Amino acid sequence: MHADPRGVLTGVHFLDGDHACCEGTLAAGARFAAGYPITPSTEVVERFAWRIPTVGGVFIQMEDELAASITMQGAVWGGAKAFTVTSGPGFSLMMEHIGYAAVTETPCVFVNVQRGGPSTGLPTLPAQADMMQAKWGSHGDYGIIALCPNSPQECFDLTITGFNLAEEFRVPVMLMLDECVGHMTEKVVIPEPDQIEITPRRYTKKTPEEFRLFEPREDKVPDMVKAGDGYHFHVTGLTHDERGYPSMTVDTQDKMVNRLQDKLKPFTNGRAIFEAADLEDAEVVVVSYGITSRVAQRAIEMARAKGIKVGKFRLITAWPFPEQHIRDIAAKVKALVVPELNLGQMVREVERSAGGAAKVIGVPHAGGTVHNPEVILKAIEEAVR
């Protein structure tokens, strides 16, 4: 299906990442947003509040992030494509509702423009230190998808991808921007609506009598319904059977929790989204994401100029982690260098996936600014030594 033209601002624009993300939500068909202001993410909802009345939809500023993250989900069950936006402290408040979205298989999008933490931290400065939180922040076992754009253009493009994946897999999708990407202004090309692919919600074709809310299709994902269509369905955050009814048995738990993770398995390999270059002859590969990938690019070019065979692997889907790809690369190279704006988060995943086949060198940074490319270069040089 193609994008609804009413939401698409076709043309060449000069936008920051937050605004581009907002245009992505509109192009993706989002007609509902619930938010609570917090730097450096507020511009996303500010623009949505400005745009939505002439597109047709609702923006509501809620009383806190606990509310915003569940109001969004109410809207989804009412039939809307919906999202919420936050940063740092607000993301922490949303954790319970990431779990709720995961277990109720509510397709929705959480935008997190990462800033320095912990706590109030560095409200106006970048970090990438919520990566583990995005994956593990809610209690229990479940799966989510996380996408990491590294430019305003990607903030637009990946927001659409995020909404599409949320519908395809019925999961909460995290758009993990960072303050730099959110606030940098660059050229953003918004295509014609008929050039934008949209995944519609897969509503059941079954009758209310036949329909079971959590009966998976072959791809392990169940069909959707919405309130008001006569299905009289039940949604609960309790462990539930395929009818959606609470069932406190070990069997139900085992089946439900495993399926929540299994349905996302394709992202560990075939469905992983990434950008790779110069892997063929590489002795060292730099694995990075978000703003850090752009700083790493500079370091890679400097290393190449020095004759070092260095390749790049940029994570776009950070979660589920593209294990198989990293495993394959690790089998062929001496070392993997992982710079990130935190004290070592995704580097652990790289290490785990590499399984000892290659050396893994983290380049941590506490956040507040980006790496100096020289520091990454030094790590690359060390890696080939």
* Site residues, another protein (CB under 8 A): 4, 6, 29, 31-32, 34, 53-58, 60, 62-64, 66-68, 70-82, 96-97, 100, 200-203, 224, 226-238, 245-246
The CB-of-60 to another protein minimum distance in angstroms stands at: 6
Question: Are the beta carbons of 279 and 287 closer than 8 angstroms?
Answer: no
Residues forming a β-bridge with 197: 2
User: Nearer to another protein by C-beta: 129 or 224?
Assistant: 224
User: Nearer to another protein by C-beta: 206 or 234?
Assistant: 234
User: Nearer to another protein by C-beta: 29 or 290?
Assistant: 29
Is residue 374 exposed (0-12), middle (13-18) or buried (19+ Cβ within 10 Å)? exposed
Amino acid occupying residue 225: V
Q: Which residues contact 88 (CB under 8 A, 6 or more apart)?
A: 38, 114, 115, 116, 117, 120, 121, 123, 130
The CB-of-10 to another protein minimum distance in angstroms stands at: 18
Alpha-carbon distance of 310 to 351, in angstroms, equals 18
Amino acid occupying residue 355: G
User: Nearer to another protein by C-beta: 66 or 257?
Assistant: 66
Q: Which residues contact 229 (CB under 8 A, 6 or more apart)?
A: none
Amino acid occupying residue 252: T
The CB-of-82 to another protein minimum distance in angstroms stands at: 7
The CB-of-188 to another protein minimum distance in angstroms stands at: 23
Strands, sheet with 335-339, edge to edge from the N-terminal-most edge strand: 274-277, 310-315, 284-288, 335-339, 359-363
The CB-of-7 to another protein minimum distance in angstroms stands at: 9
The CB-of-55 to another protein minimum distance in angstroms stands at: 6
User: Nearer to another protein by C-beta: 240 or 314?
Assistant: 240
User: Nearer to another protein by C-beta: 84 or 150?
Assistant: 84
